[in-house]
Structure 1
Amino acid sequence: MSLRDHFFADPFTLHSKDSNGNDLEEEDPIKATVVNQQPPATKMELWGYYLYYNGNNGFTVFSFLPNILQYLAFRSGHNPDTGGPCDIQNALTPCNVRWPSASGSVPVSSMMLYVQSISFSVQFLLFTSFGSLADYGRWNRYILLTATIIACTTQIIPVALVNDDGSNWGVMMAIFIVGLISYGTTLVFYGAAFPTLSDNLPVVRQARASANLSFKESETVVEKWRNHVSAISTTWSNIGFLILTAVLAGPGFIPWGANGMLGDAPVYNFICTAVCGGFWVINAIPYFMFQPSGRQGPPLPPGESHWTVGWKSIFQALREARKLRYLFMYIFSYFMFSDAVSTINTMITIITGEVTNFSALQSTLFGLVTAITSILGCVLFLYITKTFGVSTKTNLLIIVGLTSVIPLWGCFGISMNNFGFKTTWELWAQAAWSGLFTAPIWAWQQTMLAELTPKGKENLFFGLFGIVNKASSWIGPVVVGAISQSTSNVWMGWPFVLGLFLAATVIVLFIDVDAAKQELAEYEKSINTVGGNSIEHLQEKVDP
């Protein structure tokens, strides 16, 4: 299949026969009954889904909002060495802010890390307890809509603090925490909507209902179009990121003040985050407008409660640990490198604000570089995989190894004043490096998980994977925040992040993929008997 066919294939064009000559138009009544439980996807629903991710690209959450919080905290804080106000013109000088601790204050960098930890820990509790709601009824739509409204609001309302002298930095902190939680919620429930939408594309529904396709053949079609929708939606997220950085970069060069530019003025952060929020609102509307009213999951199983079904799923997954040791080894390694990547993003955001004196223009330009290189990085590793037949494990090791260069680089900043993310040119290089080698992590870690997960248990283990992601995301910021608080130097946290990468790499090295597949075969054989009937026998009832 050509690149053009891959990206622009039409799931709404039906064919009478498949590539093997099977008649696709003849329906099996039993299969059709199952398929027709959901309404077919429309072009407007699919494009609405793509556009939603175009707006929900996470740009402001990791750039402008933290910039604003740091800026206001610096205006309110004090220099612990002199007792006077913080030097807003030199953000690399010490600056503490009020905090419920033994000393009564912590460095601004520590406060930023603790804020991230608070938001991630709240997300962990919410998703563990209520993440399963996405699978039932219309809860996915209601929660996604509510979270989207809250997230967009938190991106727009900071503009009200544009002239604040720092006295309301606590208000901005609350806005940021709510923004992070609602943003994380949108990602979880947006992702949960994807399988149902993909499975109800016309070509997929035709294959699922066909009387002449076996279960395996129809599942091949399902998998193909799931991959297609996933790839295109991710591409649209990067396109939205690229559009915003390109649009916002231009006005940043408008002359502003005495011999300055708008992009270097604090007001630019407030303008940009409001634009990002508005961009998300515009892109989110079509999805909620054109989603069919009948698009919903099944009712909650008898005897189950919305309050407990999430925790039951976790305990069910953990009970399988001894039978699937390589899978759980990988989940443990993911726990560490996911935590490391999250901490890198937070630390780079803090360091960028300090090195550039909270210049929103610089953050925008760095984001533009990362947006472009992220696309290039994913394409590069996909090309390597297809051209040279590199395994998923090898690709993941390469990507994690190259990403670990970032904390290694940062370690030099502990003792050096002009190297180790202490200069603007290094931040330019980091933006490009992160796009090329960090962005592909999320694609290949999911592929690795898919290779190690038993068939029929995907939802169970991918759900556990998502919970591990949120559980790990607060540990690194807490540890680095404590290190930063005790040393008044955020660069002292880099060795800890580097250690996480090294430990994760060692664990992945010891994962024997061939042995793991043998484990899967034995495990699947053990569960493929239901009430004395083999799964094959049960499928024959559906595929006569």
Structure 2
Amino acid sequence: MGAMTPEELKRELQGWYLYDFANSAFFQAAATVFIPFLVDGIATKYAWQRSSRDQPELCSNLGDNVTHTNCRKCFEGKGEMVQIVDPITGAVSTMDIDTPELPGGIDPTSFLFTMISISVLFQAIAFISLGTLGDYGDYRKRGLVAASTAGGVATCAYVIVPADASLYWLGGVLMIVANVCLGVSVVFYNSYLPLMVDDSEEVRDAIGKCGKESDVESERNVIDAQEAVSSEYSSKGQMWGYVGGTTCLVLSVIVLLVLVALGAEWFWALGVTSALSGVWWLGFAYFAFQRLPHRPGPPFPAAMNVYTEGWRKTYRLLALLWRTELNTFYFLILFFIFSDGYSTISTIAVMFAYHELCMDPLLLALIAIIVPLTAVFGGYAWLRFQKRFGWSSKSVLVLNLMLLALIPLWGCVGFFTDDYGLQTQGEMYVLAVWFGLCLGSAQAFGRALFSELIPAGHEADMFALFEITDKGSSWLGPMVAAAVRQRTGRIRPTLFYLLAAMVLPGLALQALDLTESIENARRSKSARGAVKDTELAI
């Protein structure tokens, strides 16, 4: 297939941006807000149904004219507890609720966190296994359409989960299917990027000049043009993703309010709004597919096993870094820890605020809207800060990690006082703004530093690893949260892990000298350019 004309490339870019607009509805609306409430609530309901005990009635359902005893009441900072009133003195005391367990002895909220962790693990396996598939044959568009359709349908299927509380397991299975399909679709989606970059006017102009002046500097200009265009396209795609996800979330909240006002049962309303994200994903993806060409690649090499090639290339990449660029290898380890850490904050924040701060799901939806909006502003503001003071990407990233660490640190203060330290709902709004202002910047500068360390010829392999933690994915943090909740019945102790996941990698990154690794990566790209120039001259 020849190079795209400017008009064809424009249409392709529209489709590429539109797909990010489409799929972002899943993780910003469904996976962040509605699915966690649905799965956690249905699982808790089933746990009580299968036990021999009756769940205490909500105190608010018994009337407000008297103080009721032996009923459930949510206390800000402590969570839902049994309220006990002394019949003689009238003194009010509280007692933890002994929530029954699901089959296998797992706590309902731990089940939710475990399913999130497993879904991301499977997603990572899919990334590595299928990472090379989009570069060969006609799989680029076919894979994107198939994975997107399967993920959208799985998300729509949440509408049947509230039919019976015993279907709580289906909510977990659908989460795994939808998350893996999202990841696989992103693999094929990203395989369009280098092709569009090479067809851009800026890169083609640089290549044209390189043909006239066969020298290393000309090839360096081509590489610079490719990096600049790639960053531009990626940033615009991310922006349209924020717009799409946030718009779907606002629309879903409106639908939820209408359904509840019309008398719909709460879990049914959550099922409908979860499914709405699937409809959004499928609907806008359809229009994206109309604009995205097939872009067929070369046939599979005869000796290649397409399903093991990704694992072989990943192993070879890590082995190469271990032998030749040890600091880059260490950075990869640190990157996966701190990116998992700030992604986990997003994952568990909703359940923490719901269970321990008594926040209404609609209020939490507002917080979910605040974070991406402030992330866009924060990314822009930190970029201006970097240009104003001349800081490196690494320095800004370390500062962002330290500022993000203040969130779990502030929550840990709550272990020593009942007055503050993530003990009130108002604190959540302040920290949501703080989180958003630092999150967008941490993601942007993390990606920038990641890009600077990529050796020539390993761009696709490195970004396949990068995508494992993209779009809010985290597996280690939710697994820790599941274990903590199972053991203690609380989510707050997970804050110690989050604090360590921000501070320790941040300090290690600050001490890690990456200057030589960045220079070696640049030299390898220049050397590759010199080889190409020699071939052109010949």
Q: TM-score, normalised by structure 2?
A: 0.82
Q: Is the 8 A contact 1:409 1:421 kept in 2?
A: yes
> Counterpart of 2:89?
none
- Shift in CA distance, 220/124, structure 1 to aligned 2, threshold 3 Å: closer
Across the two proteins, how many residue pairs are aligned to each other? 495
> Counterpart of 2:109?
109
Q: Deviations over 1:298-342 (max 9, x none)?
A: 333342210221111112112221311221121111121122123
> Counterpart of 1:280?
281
Q: Is the 8 A contact 1:323 1:519 kept in 2?
A: no
Q: For residues 132-531 of structure 1, what are the structure 2 equivalents within 5 Å?
A: 132-162=132-162, 164-209=163-208, 211-212=211-212, 214-250=218-254, 256=260, 265-293=266-294, 295-320=295-320, 321-355=322-356, 359-414=360-415, 416-417=417-418, 419-466=420-467, 473-520=474-521, 528=527
- Report the more deviating stretch, 246-255 or 231-240: 246-255
Structure 2: 5+ residue runs without aligned partners? 59-71, 82-96
- Shift in CA distance, 368/452, structure 1 to aligned 2, threshold 3 Å: same
> Counterpart of 1:67?
37
- Shift in CA distance, 409/95, structure 1 to aligned 2, threshold 3 Å: farther
Q: 2: distance between equivalents of 1:423 and 1:77?
A: 28
Please report how far the alpha carbon of residue 203 of structure 1 lies from its aligned counterpart in structure 2 after TM superposition.
4.9
The amino acid that maps onto 1:364 is A
- Report the more deviating stretch, 389-398 or 342-351: 342-351
- Shift in CA distance, 232/517, structure 1 to aligned 2, threshold 3 Å: closer
Q: Match of 1:319, SS?
A: helix
Please report how far the alpha carbon of residue 44 of structure 1 lies from its aligned counterpart in structure 2 after TM superposition.
2.1
Structure with the larger helix share: 2
Q: Is the 8 A contact 2:413 2:421 kept in 1?
A: yes
> Counterpart of 1:127?
127
Q: 2: distance between equivalents of 1:343 and 1:87?
A: 32
Q: Match of 1:92, SS?
A: strand
Q: 1: distance between equivalents of 2:402 and 2:519?
A: 27
Please report how far the alpha carbon of residue 112 of structure 1 lies from its aligned counterpart in structure 2 after TM superposition.
1.5
Q: Is the 8 A contact 1:77 1:98 kept in 2?
A: yes
- Shift in CA distance, 151/524, structure 1 to aligned 2, threshold 3 Å: closer
Q: 1: distance between equivalents of 2:384 and 2:274?
A: 35
- Report the more deviating stretch, 62-71 or 193-202: 193-202
Q: Is the 8 A contact 1:373 1:436 kept in 2?
A: yes
Q: 1: distance between equivalents of 2:176 and 2:21?
A: 23
Q: 1: distance between equivalents of 2:378 and 2:49?
A: 41
The amino acid that maps onto 2:535 is K
> Counterpart of 1:42?
9
- Shift in CA distance, 264/388, structure 1 to aligned 2, threshold 3 Å: farther
Q: TM-score, normalised by structure 1?
A: 0.81
- Shift in CA distance, 105/229, structure 1 to aligned 2, threshold 3 Å: same
- Shift in CA distance, 45/520, structure 1 to aligned 2, threshold 3 Å: closer
Q: 2: distance between equivalents of 1:250 and 1:452?
A: 44
Q: Match of 2:191, SS?
A: helix
The amino acid that maps onto 2:238 is T
Q: 1: distance between equivalents of 2:460 and 2:439?
A: 26
Q: Is the 8 A contact 1:135 1:298 kept in 2?
A: yes
The amino acid that maps onto 1:62 is T
The amino acid that maps onto 1:77 is A
Q: Match of 1:352, SS?
A: helix
The amino acid that maps onto 2:138 is R
> Counterpart of 2:69?
none
Q: Match of 1:56, SS?
A: helix
Q: Is the 8 A contact 1:215 1:543 kept in 2?
A: no
Structure 1: 5+ residue runs without aligned partners? 1-34, 529-533
Q: Is the 8 A contact 1:92 1:354 kept in 2?
A: yes
The amino acid that maps onto 1:198 is V
Please report how far the alpha carbon of residue 45 of structure 1 lies from its aligned counterpart in structure 2 after TM superposition.
1.7
Q: Is the 8 A contact 2:102 2:108 kept in 1?
A: no
The amino acid that maps onto 2:279 is G
- Shift in CA distance, 323/453, structure 1 to aligned 2, threshold 3 Å: same
- Shift in CA distance, 519/46, structure 1 to aligned 2, threshold 3 Å: closer
> Counterpart of 1:55?
22
Percent of aligned positions with the same letter in both sequences? 24
Please report how far the alpha carbon of residue 414 of structure 1 lies from its aligned counterpart in structure 2 after TM superposition.
4.1
Q: Is the 8 A contact 1:55 1:279 kept in 2?
A: yes
> Does 2:538 align with 1:539?
no
- Shift in CA distance, 262/71, structure 1 to aligned 2, threshold 3 Å: same
> Does 2:48 align with 1:78?
yes
Q: Is the 8 A contact 2:409 2:499 kept in 1?
A: yes
Q: 1: distance between equivalents of 2:518 and 2:264?
A: 53
Q: Deviations over 1:177-199 (max 9, x none)?
A: 22222223233332232221232
The amino acid that maps onto 2:225 is V
Q: 2: distance between equivalents of 1:390 and 1:489?
A: 40
Aligned CA RMSD, in angstroms, stands at 3.3
Q: 2: distance between equivalents of 1:332 and 1:153?
A: 35
Q: 1: distance between equivalents of 2:236 and 2:522?
A: 32
Q: Is the 8 A contact 2:122 2:176 kept in 1?
A: no
Q: 2: distance between equivalents of 1:500 and 1:459?
A: 27
The amino acid that maps onto 2:80 is L
Q: 1: distance between equivalents of 2:530 and 2:197?
A: 25
Q: Is the 8 A contact 1:44 1:290 kept in 2?
A: yes
The amino acid that maps onto 2:2 is N
Q: 1: distance between equivalents of 2:264 and 2:333?
A: 42
Q: 1: distance between equivalents of 2:266 and 2:498?
A: 32
